[in-house]
Amino acid sequence: MLRGKHVGLLQLVLVVAPAFILFGYNQSNVGGLLSVHDWAQTFPEIDTLMTKGAQKKHNSTIQGVVVASFVLGALVGALSCSWIGDKLGRRRTIFLGATLTLLGEVLECSSFQLAQLVVGRTILGCGVGALSAVVPVWQSETSSSSKRGQHVVLDGLFICIGYVLQAWINLGFYQIKHGPLSWRLPLALPSIVSILLMGSIWLFPESPRWLAAKGRTQEARRNLAISRNAVEDDPQVVSEMHAIEHSLELNSKHASRLRDIFTSREDKLFYRFMLCIVLQFFQQMTGGNLISVYSTVIFQQGLQLDSQTSRILSGGTLTWKFVSSFVAFFTVERFGRRKLFMFSGGGMALCMMALATATSFPKTNQSAQIASVFFVYLFNFFIPIGFLGANFLYCTEVAPTHLRVKMASISTANHWLWNFVVTMITPVAIESIGYQYYIVFTCIGICVPLSVYWFYPETQGRTLEEMDVLFRDQGSMRAVVRASCPFSRSVVSRDRGSNELLV
């Protein structure tokens, strides 16, 4: 039986990678199909290729709704996990999410009417939303504190693989100039990944923290020992299990109710909840989804490049984004979460400012076009460093055990809400206001480093139970941030009601 790091490695390959490849691929695949001629002929209601004037503007609005139907489904899927994530457990919820993605993909690729396409994308979105909410929680609850950051940051890398696959697959099938295969096969291919995920999830242990919360202590200890490659009475396993039980005991004074999130008791639940909400807002409203989903549209309609060149540039920028994702993997446990968020947010703001400037010139200005392409590529260097995996990680780290899935699911639903806003308005905004659209993302991006510096505590190197104590023991938000900084990491304190070493 596989144990320790071998379980973690296979968990990444067979569950985490498929889940987030589905995330990236299905979120962005339709954006690359909007200019395929057979697609436009099959769905004339969203055709912006062969229409002009008022009709084109009307179709671009409907197009935004169709593309965004996936995001609305994802919002519902993520939000539903606030209940089913704790009711069914992490593994069964992941299986349910994978099943929904398969159903949605079948409906989508077999569509002949716009209504079926919308239904398929909505169901597909529900599955991806559930996966995006629960998989990071399952990872963080089964990983050790020293490897947790790297494990969950890989989610962003796998999302990028999904983006890259769809870009180059769409480009390849675009060479089929006639017939529906140019778009049906790209929509059908991710069903293979969904089937893999449905079968592989049962090969891995359930979260020991969820089992402990359900009173299944013996199973929790056994699964924890498997993850740590140790026997059940190993001191490390016993100590970590005791910390989990102690944290649950402290939190058991308050029922695991959704409304608890909006309270400000000694656990500072509302503060922790707002950290997650604002972080996921930043992830979308700094422009990440704009560039990933609509890069082909930006190059083709925004910069007036030809269709083939636009697809090649889109595939290139998403491949570059994938390569840049490795920066976060090697830095998240070295520099911590705060520095990565500030560096990433500041860099994205500068890129959006430069992109707004470059695209303000006439579209015939070749130098401005080159500059615009450069800053799109540079943007895709900055975003994966802090906001393509680390944001999901952070939300699971600051949430208490008894409300972790609820906080993660609601904050992830918030991610999908703003994703919907961007997806919905982008086609119209690019057509209507052009370069001014990027100024909005510039202003929001500037707020990222300021907010992180003042309000976001560092979580690097701490167990999930230690984070509970950090929030509980400090009197104010600023005190939590100061106490979490690396220079105070050496300060060791004992919980007043216990002899166990907690921080």
Give the domain CATH number at 158. 1.20.1250.20
State which residues form the domain around 286: 5-204+254-461
Closest CA relative to residue 249, chosen from 215, 223, 222, 288: 215
Question: How many CB atoms sit inside 10 A of residue 135's CB?
Answer: 28
Query: Encoding tokens for residue 165?
Result: 């696959």
What pLDDT is attached to residue 55? 80
- The burial class, CB within 10 Å (0-12 / 13-18 / 19+), for 64 is buried
SS3 501: strand
Is residue 41, in this structure, part of any structural domain at all? yes
What pLDDT is attached to residue 503? 32
> What are residue 124's DSSP bridge partners?
none
What pLDDT is attached to residue 490? 41
Please say whether the beta carbons of 237 and 224 come within 8 A. yes
> What are residue 494's DSSP bridge partners?
501
- The burial class, CB within 10 Å (0-12 / 13-18 / 19+), for 259 is exposed
Separation between Cα atoms, residue 392 and residue 20, nearest integer Å: 12
Number of H helices, E strands in the chain: 21, 0
Is residue 470, in this structure, part of any structural domain at all? no
> What are residue 501's DSSP bridge partners?
494
Is residue 229, in this structure, part of any structural domain at all? no
pTM of the model: 0.78
Is residue 236, in this structure, part of any structural domain at all? no
Is residue 503, in this structure, part of any structural domain at all? no
Question: What are the backbone angles phi and psi of residue 356, rounded to the nearest 5°?
Answer: -60, -40
What pLDDT is attached to residue 502? 34
Question: What are the backbone angles phi and psi of residue 40, rounded to the nearest 5°?
Answer: -65, -35
Please say whether the beta carbons of 20 and 159 come within 8 A. yes
Is residue 490, in this structure, part of any structural domain at all? no
The rounded Cα 429 to chain-centroid distance in angstroms is 24
SS3 362: coil
Query: Encoding tokens for residue 112?
Result: 């002949």
Please say whether the beta carbons of 273 and 407 come within 8 A. yes
Is residue 241, in this structure, part of any structural domain at all? no
Q: Where are the beta strands (DSSP E) in 302-426?
A: none
Is residue 130, in this structure, part of any structural domain at all? yes
Taking 3-state DSSP, the helix, strand and coil percentages for the chain, each rounded to the nearest 5, stand at 80, 0, 20
The rounded Cα 186 to chain-centroid distance in angstroms is 22
Closest CA relative to residue 157, chosen from 323, 32, 27: 323
What pLDDT is attached to residue 116? 93
Closest CA relative to residue 193, chosen from 252, 128, 119: 128
Which residues in the chain come in under a pLDDT of 70? 1-5, 31-32, 144-153, 250-258, 260, 263-264, 266, 293-294, 301-304, 427, 486-503
Please say whether the beta carbons of 296 and 308 come within 8 A. no
Longest dimension (CA), the chain: 73
What pLDDT is attached to residue 392? 79
> 418-436 burial, b if ≥16 CB within 10 A, otherwise e?
bbbebbbbbbebbbeeebe
What domain count does the chain have?
1
What pLDDT is attached to residue 448? 94
